[in-house]
Amino acid sequence: MAKEVVKKIKLQIEAGKATPAPPVGTVLGPAGINLGEFCSKFNDATRDKMGDVVPCEISIYDDRSFDFVLKTAPAAFLLKKAAKAKKGSKKGANEIVATISKADLKKIAEEKLPDLNAYDVEAAMNIIAGTARNMGIAIEGVNDAELEAQAKEAATQEKAALKREAELEALEAEAKELAEAGSVEVPTHSDEEKDSEEE
């Protein structure tokens, strides 16, 4: 009789570094599988990917045995690794934090292809390029000029917004000073509403 899968668990663990301690132990402990056995199998299977974060899907059977399937590292992780960037942009495509080559993009797309909803490397490259764009990572000769222009425009708009904010704060402070000095009556919203009703 075939064993029945009672639970599927997805984890992202650094290659070759699984230990029964948290987070692995915290997630898999309640499932009742042998943590030591899982860790040694996972570490053996991922030894060639040292330094990468490897997503893993674990199927747990009714007799507490298990199987696992290794997926490719997350696109964001691979992009940061290729760009030698610690993190992506907080402003998305409005700020460039790094640039990668088209060859880097192709390499990542080829690696991610089995896990992507894409039929060929070209389609996979488009998906990865979209992820890169959202992370503020430009691709040489593909979208670097466009992203640079977008980042400059965003920076100009941000400066203008900050300037407007500063001017507004100065006006509010001036109005408050005048009101405290008693030389002018600062209209409240209700006064303005009354005036518009009288008109």
pLDDT of 177 reads 82
Neighbours of 126 (CB within 10 A): 13
Closest CA to 33 of 4, 59, 3: 59
- Quote the DSSP letter at residue 191: H
The reply to whether 74-199 shares the fold of 5-70 is: no
Residue 103 has a pLDDT of 85
The H or E element containing residue 189 is: helix 189-198
Q: What is the pLDDT of residue 150?
A: 64
Q: Which of 192, 88, 93 is nearest to 143 (CA)?
A: 93
> How far, in Å, CA of 153 to CA of 150, rounded?
5
Q: Half-sphere exposure of residue 137, counting CA atoms within 13 Å on the CB side?
A: 25
User: CA-CA-CA-CA torsion for 117, 122, 126, 132, nearest 10 degrees?
Assistant: 100
Q: What's the one-letter identity of residue 172?
A: E
The yes/no answer on whether domain 74-199 falls in CATH 3.40.50.720 is: no
Report the C-alpha gap between 154 and 95 in whole angstroms. Answer: 8
Splitting the chain (199 residues) into consecutive groups of 10 residues, what average pLDDT does each group show?
79 86 83 86 87 86 86 83 77 70 85 81 85 80 63 72 82 81 58 54
Domains of the chain by residue range: 5-70, 74-199
Per CATH, the number for 5-70 is 3.30.1550.10
Distance of CA 143 to the CA centre of its chain: 20
